Amino acid sequence: MDDWIIGIGGTAMASLAICLRRQGRVVGGSDEGVYPPMSDLLREAGIAWREGYSAKNLPDAPCRIIVANAIPRGNPELEAALEAGRPLTCLPELIRSDFLPGRHSVVVSGTHGKTTTTNLLALLLREAGLDPGWLIGGRPAGLPSPMHAGSGPFLIEGDEYDTVFYDKRSKFLHYWPRTLVINHIEFDHSDIFENVSQIQHSFRLLLRLLPAGGRLIVNGDSPLAMEVAADSPAPLTTFGEGEGCDCRLLGERPEGESSVYTYLLDGVEHALRSPMQGAHNGRNLAVALLLARQFGVPQSILEQVAAGFSGPGRRMDRYELKGGGLLYDDFAHHPTAIRESLRGLRLRHPERRITALFEPRSNTSVTNVMQQEFMEALSGADRAGMGALHRAWKYAPETLFDFALAAGWFAGRGIPFAQRDKAEELADWALEDFGKDDLLVLFSNGSFQGLRELVLERLAK
């Protein structure tokens, strides 16, 4: 056994296991409840795992023990490894040691847009024949897996969340960028950061890793990101809607089921057609425009990739419903992401009544730390609903999102609002008078208790 992974069943760790196996390493691991598609992918790669955690699972022979971010102290395998003094590592450390030396590391960071932009850039460089490697924190579109070794530039979704149980620094501090992308910086991850200044501090530490001969690409519409960028040791390029941006997004024009985004770069206008919608996706595409120029990718390939890229899984997945209605399923779980997604839907479907349902699952959304921002974001819909607070027992009652306050706030603005703990009851409310001119959008970074499946069972076309 070359590598043993404690927590092998998650998207990132299973993808790492498969990537290591393709490199000829013998890989095993353990987890609790490994489900499709990752269980199927592991089996196809010839990787066996133990169900459940036990000190007896650890291989007797020396091997590299890789610990997933979700594994806490008290895990029996982790405790046995610590007691025996066996060396441990984790995904970010392994990426730095095994995949980055001698390669051009492109790190995509920021509160929003990381997965979509990294997926888009990896697909772009792959289509250009540059054989990129990548690490994407989701189900990518147009790519065979969330992780791939490659031999060319290595593209990484740079997460500001903590690394592993023994290293509470942001993951991206392990990635040593040569090109660094910073999208929006906003407050998030209230379980890790007390305020946005702490988040900015992590990004400033990341900037210290950027060589003077590297490149920094920053969202010029994000004041907090621009504050961080002032400390850059490398040349700076900005993108966004602001007049001072180097790559300026001039506008979005809906055309059927696509949008045409127009940019001004070095005095020349460029147009990219995309099935994605909203200014936030227009900014993601701007990064692709800049990276295409940096790596010498022909404009024709950029246009082809942009036109065929609808985003990774759970990013505005679209379903046509019986009677003419529409359902969108989206991963958004931050107020800005929800607000921008609703604006994009309103632009694309101005004639439809929009009902937005939100499942508060993240540590930030379950509490009241950003309640006002979440309410304002959801008010971009014609009707708003919320599901159950995820694992509310973990928090002091006085810190939880206040549904009664929300009901009063929405009522004062004439926006129908409902909160239901059970997905079936929330579906009943949302679909009671659902018609051909209606649009339902689900926002959740989890399963929403199977709400999408419930809606499709009732109204599948």
- In the chain, the largest separation of any two C-alpha atoms, in whole Å, equals 66
**Do the domains 94-308 and 317-459 sit in the same CATH topology, yes or no?**
no
What is residue 332's predicted lDDT score, i.e. its pLDDT?
Answer: 82
Higher pLDDT pick, 41 / 458: 458
Q: Is the pLDDT of residue 425 over 80?
A: yes
Average pLDDT, the chain: 93
What is residue 121's predicted lDDT score, i.e. its pLDDT?
Answer: 98
What is residue 57's predicted lDDT score, i.e. its pLDDT?
Answer: 96
251-259: average pLDDT: 90
Homologous superfamily in CATH for domain 3-89 = NAD(P)-binding Rossmann-like Domain (3.40.50.720)
Binned at pLDDT 50, 70 and 90, residue 244 comes out as very high
Q: Is the pLDDT of residue 189 over 80?
A: no
Is 94-308 CATH 3.40.1190.10? yes
What is residue 359's predicted lDDT score, i.e. its pLDDT?
Answer: 96
Q: Is the pLDDT of residue 296 over 80?
A: yes
Q: Residue ranges per domain, the chain?
A: 3-89, 94-308, 317-459
Binned at pLDDT 50, 70 and 90, residue 38 comes out as confident
Q: Is the pLDDT of residue 36 over 80?
A: no
What is residue 224's predicted lDDT score, i.e. its pLDDT?
Answer: 96
As assigned by CATH, the class of the 317-459 domain is alpha beta
Q: pLDDT tens-digit profile of 120-134?
A: 999 999 999 999 999
Q: pLDDT tens-digit profile of 315-363?
A: 778 899 998 999 999 888 889 889 988 988 998 899 999 999 999 998 8
User: What percent of the chain has pLDDT above 70?
Assistant: 99
Residues 234, 210: contact at Cβ < 8 Å? Answer: yes
What is residue 401's predicted lDDT score, i.e. its pLDDT?
Answer: 96
Binned at pLDDT 50, 70 and 90, residue 279 comes out as confident
What is residue 312's predicted lDDT score, i.e. its pLDDT?
Answer: 76
Q: Is the pLDDT of residue 12 over 80?
A: yes
- Residue that the structure tokens 């702490």 belong to: 198
What is residue 320's predicted lDDT score, i.e. its pLDDT?
Answer: 92
Q: Is the pLDDT of residue 138 over 80?
A: no
Tell me whether strands 3-6 and 64-67 are parallel, antiparallel or unpaired.
parallel
What is residue 377's predicted lDDT score, i.e. its pLDDT?
Answer: 94
91-102: average pLDDT: 96
What is residue 336's predicted lDDT score, i.e. its pLDDT?
Answer: 86
What is residue 10's predicted lDDT score, i.e. its pLDDT?
Answer: 87
Q: pLDDT tens-digit profile of 203-227?
A: 999 999 999 999 999 999 999 999 9
What is residue 113's predicted lDDT score, i.e. its pLDDT?
Answer: 84
- Amino acid at site 20: L
Q: Is the pLDDT of residue 461 over 80?
A: no
Binned at pLDDT 50, 70 and 90, residue 277 comes out as confident
Binned at pLDDT 50, 70 and 90, residue 61 comes out as very high
158-173: average pLDDT: 94
Q: Is the pLDDT of residue 228 over 90?
A: yes
- Residue that the structure tokens 């994000």 belong to: 222
420-433: average pLDDT: 96
Q: Is the pLDDT of residue 400 over 90?
A: yes
Mapping DSSP onto H, E and C, the string for the chain reads CCEEEECCCCHHHHHHHHHHHHCCCCEEEEECCCCCCHHHHHHHCCCCEEECCCHHHCCCCCCEEEECCCCCCCCHHHHHHHHCCCCEECHHHHHHHHCCCCCCEEEEECCCCHHHHHHHHHHHHHHCCCCCEEECCCCCCCCCCCEECCCCCEEEECCCCEEECCEEEEHHHHCCCCEEEECCCCCCCCCCCCCHHHHHHHHHHHHCCCCCCCEEEEECCCHHHHHHHCCCCCCEEEEECCCCCCEEEEEEEEECCEEEEEEEECCEEEEEEECCCCHHHHHHHHHHHHHHHHCCCCHHHHHHHHHHCCCCCCCCEEEEEHHHCEEEEECCCCHHHHHHHHHHHHHHCCCCEEEEEECCCCHHHHECCCHHHHHHHHCCCCEEEECCCCCHHHCCHHHECCHHHHHHHHHCCCCCEEECCCHHHHHHHHHCCCCCCEEEEEECCCCHHHHHHHHHHHHEC
Tell me whether strands 162-164 and 167-170 are parallel, antiparallel or unpaired.
antiparallel
What is residue 98's predicted lDDT score, i.e. its pLDDT?
Answer: 94
What is residue 109's predicted lDDT score, i.e. its pLDDT?
Answer: 96
Q: Is the pLDDT of residue 445 over 90?
A: no
CA distances from 303 to 67, 116, 146, 257, 295 (A): 40, 16, 23, 16, 15
What is residue 310's predicted lDDT score, i.e. its pLDDT?
Answer: 86
